[in-house]
Structures are given as structure tokens and as C-alpha cells.
Amino acid sequence: MLRTRFLAALSVVASASLAAPSLALADEISPALFTANNVWMMLAAALVFVMHLGFAMVESGLTRAKNTTNILFKNTFIICAGILTYFIVGFNLMYPGDFGGFLGFAGFGLSAGFAEGANTPGYAGGGYTYWTDFLFQAMFAATAATIVSGAVAERIKLGSFMIFSAIFVALVYPIAGSWKWGGGFLDAAGFYDFAGSTLVHSVGGWGALMGAMILGPRLGKYAKDGRLMPIPGSSMPLTTVGVFLLWLGWFGFNGGSVLSADPTLTSFTLVTTCLAAASGGIGAMIAYAFVSSKPDLSMALNGILAGLVGITAGADVINPNMAILVGMIAGMLVVGSVLLFDKIKIDDPVGAISVHLTCGIWGTLAVGLFSTNPEHSLLTQAYGVLCYGLFTVVCASAIFLTLKATLGLRVTEEEELEGLDLSEHGMHAYDLAGSPGFMEDGPPGFRATGALAASKLAPSEN
């Protein structure tokens, strides 16, 4: 079973003058090269995994301390649910082999990994084994759902979010992904998305937009007269740690999307990725200077992510000079986009819609403008953006609206004011009362109720 994504990468290697084709036919791949390729792909999977820590830190940092446990719980659930649902259905929905181009399914689980040749160079041109393939793609899948988490933070019901993200990562992301990376109709149409500006980031971004719109803004974000009231995040250091971890993870996200350790193409991709990240940060700083005389760290950090998302669609086909431009424009776009969404009362606490949707679309279109491959066209790229937008908007809003009508989507006003840590978890993220040591009767100011945690927690009693 050959991955068309791999074939696409190969054809780029062959056609782009900047990369010398080092991967030829599978039977020419030596065991040593196969091992080296596979090691890089496993490392790339591990780097993409680190991005989930990055998301968790960014989201914790840009929201209030009374919702931190809730944010972290959602991130914890997504990576667990994402990997498991990708095992059950996702992988085989996204890469169904030969299919009609819209929807295919190659069966449950990973039994194909035991088939003859699934872990030989013949499987994917010597790039990686079946098992590595699953691992790398599973890490990607959870990313799309995590993007939604930030935009709906501080007000969504935990249970409803868990149901949404499980469906989103199990069905919506892989079906959409199959259209391009699985060899579906958009792949046939010549649409290009190297590592997922659209397939991962825009898909997550559209979900985030639908979630934020259907939920409405957080209490206190807009005054009665409609004035914007900022809700500052709880920790700039955590936000910074998160963004730097995401940047680190992107070495695997884009570098692994070469689908081998091809020396030229992999290093080229890492260079364009880093250039775009750096110019994204600078772009956001410049753009924000037109808004305020005092630089905003959170915007500069959003700019880095914007640059990364922007270059992701074309990291292997956009030259360094143009990669800087793509990142710079993405960094400027993200500032304008954050201010615009604030203005039209779509409340996105972490800027996820601006980073992943706005810049995901920009990056996808940028392939049409700057690709070194003459077969890539702006029109086809726009067609792809449109198809993914329509599908994800319909799916995400259907799930969100169904949940709203049944379980309810938003916590009560009282719970939101108290914070989701207490109302949803009965637990603080930070021990504000100090850290008491062991005492026979419990620490001062606390009293044991004698009840097990399974009994209903009544947080207001504390």
C-alpha cells in the first residue's frame, strides 16, 4: 500500500531543481538508508507529539488561572482520544488505499501492519514502516482537534467538548485528509498542501471558528455598551514556553512531512520553516507597532505561529527568500485578524482562529503564488481551501449545534464566573492556599468531608 503523500513528495523531489533525487525505486534502498529514514520519521513523530505540550502551555498562558485545570484536561483528553480514534478508524479513513476520491475505509485497526511487506522498503519507497506511518499520522490528527480547544476555552462544557473533539478527530479530520493525502479528488485536481496548512490547520481553524461563533464570547469580554474589555492571560512565561515548544515541534511537523530523511529536501524544509517562523514574529511586531507604541508579547508569539502555519503548505516548494515573505505576511495578517475577530465579537482567547485559519488559508494560497513547481496554481489552491472550508464548517457546526440542542454547549453563568476548574473538576490548577505538609487533621483551612470523590463535589462549600 503506497501512500500517495509519499509519491507527491517524490515527484517534487524529481521536479524541483533545488532537490537532488536521492530516493529512487524501493528495491534500490539499502537497509541502512531505510533504517535512517525510519529513525528520522519516528523522531519527527515524537517532535509532533511535543507540539501538544506546546498547545497546552499556550492555552494555559493566554487564559485565566481559574480555567487552567480545565484547559489542561482538554489537552490531555485530546491526545489520548486522538491516538486511539486514529487507531480505530482514523488512519484507515484517511489512507483507504484506492477509493472513489471522497470517502473510503480500509477497515478497523492496524492489522495491515502485519501484512507482508508492510515494514519493508517496499511499503513507502523506503521512507518508513507501516508502524511509523501510523504513529506520525496519529500525532498529526490530534493537532487539528487541539486547535479548537483554545478558541472555545473558558466557557465550553467539558463533556460536550470531549464529544466534539472525539468525533472531529475520528471522522472529520481523516475524511477531509483523505481528499489530498489519501489520494482523493483534491489530490487528483492538483491541489498541494505539503504538511497541512489546510488539511490540519485550516480544518482545526474552521472548527475553532464554528465553536467560538456558536458559543458566543466569554462573560466580561464585551461591556454592556459593546466596548471591548480585554481579558488578560494568566502567564506570559507559559505562553512563551508553549510557542517555543511548538516551533520545536514544527521541525518534525514539516521536516517529517518529507516522509523520508532525504538530506536536501529535509534540511531545505527546516530552513524555510525556521525563516518563516522568524519573519512571522517580526511581521507581527511590525504590524502591531501601527496599533500601539508598546509591543505586545502575545501578538509577537502569535506571529511566530502564524509564520509556521503559513509556510506549512509549501515548506518544500517555496524558496528561502519567498519563505521569509510568506512568514512576514502571515505575521502581519495574524495581528489584523485578531483585532478583526475581536471587533466582530468572535471571542478567541488564544488567537487560534487567526493563527490556524487565517494563516492556514494564506499559506495554502501562497503555494499558488510562490511555488517553484509550475504545476501549482492559485486557482487550484483556492478550490482546495473552499472544499475544506465548506466540509469542515458544515460538519463542525452540525456537531456543535446538535450538542447545544441536547447536552448543552456552554457552562452556566455562575460556573463561568467561578471558573471551570472548580465547576467542572472541583480542583484548582495552582495551590493558592500554600502547600501544607502532612497533618493529622488535614492542613489548616481545609477539612476532610469523609466523602469519596465519587460523591458530588460541592465546590462552593470550600
Partner 1 sequence: MKKIEAIIKPFKLDDAKEGLAKAGIQGLTVSEVKGFGRQKGHTELYRGAEYVVDFLPKLKLEIVVADDQAEKVVVALQEACQTGKIGDGKIFVLPVEDAVRIRTGEHGDAAVDAG
Chain residues binding partner 1 by CB under 8 A are 228-233, 288, 291-292, 294, 296, 298-299, 335, 338-339, 342, 351
Q: Which of 113/336 has CB closer to partner 1?
A: 336
Q: Which of 17/292 has CB closer to partner 1?
A: 292
Q: Which of 17/293 has CB closer to partner 1?
A: 293
Q: Which of 217/233 has CB closer to partner 1?
A: 233
Smallest gap from Cβ 62 to partner 1, in A, equals 9
Q: Which of 259/334 has CB closer to partner 1?
A: 334
Q: Which of 342/416 has CB closer to partner 1?
A: 342
Q: Which of 7/297 has CB closer to partner 1?
A: 297
Burial 204-220 (b: 16+ CB within 10 A, else e): bbbbbbbbbbbbebbee
Q: Which of 232/374 has CB closer to partner 1?
A: 232
Smallest gap from Cβ 228 to partner 1, in A, equals 5
Contacts with 373 (C-beta within 8 Å, 6 or more apart), sequence order: 12, 15, 16, 192, 317
Q: How many CB atoms lie within 10 A of CB 319?
A: 18
Q: Which of 230/445 has CB closer to partner 1?
A: 230
Smallest gap from Cβ 147 to partner 1, in A, equals 18
Smallest gap from Cβ 446 to partner 1, in A, equals 22
| CA distances (Å), origin 265, targets 28, 100, 271, 376, 418 | 19, 31, 10, 18, 51
> Phi and psi (nearest 5°) for 410?
-120, 145
Q: Please state, in angstroms and rounded to a whole number, the distance separating the CA atoms of residues 241 and 200.
A: 22
Query: What's the 3-state SS for 36-100?
Result: HHHHHHHHHHHHHHHHHHHHHHHHHHCCCHHHHHHHHHHHHHHHHHHHHHHHHHHHHHHCCCCCC
Smallest gap from Cβ 296 to partner 1, in A, equals 6
Here the cell at position 75 is 489537552
Smallest gap from Cβ 66 to partner 1, in A, equals 17
Q: Please state, in angstroms and rounded to a whole number, the distance separating the CA atoms of residues 71 and 55.
A: 10
Query: What's the 3-state SS for 358-417?
Result: HHHHHHHHHHHHHCCCCCCCHHHHHHHHHHHHHHHHHHHHHHHHHHHHCCCCECCHHHHH
Smallest gap from Cβ 187 to partner 1, in A, equals 38
Smallest gap from Cβ 231 to partner 1, in A, equals 8
Here the cell at position 161 is 467538548
| CA distances (Å), origin 334, targets 85, 149, 212, 369 | 32, 18, 17, 19
Smallest gap from Cβ 69 to partner 1, in A, equals 23
Here the cell at position 401 is 449545534
Smallest gap from Cβ 298 to partner 1, in A, equals 6
Q: Which of 330/338 has CB closer to partner 1?
A: 338
* Coil vs helix vs strand at 229: coil
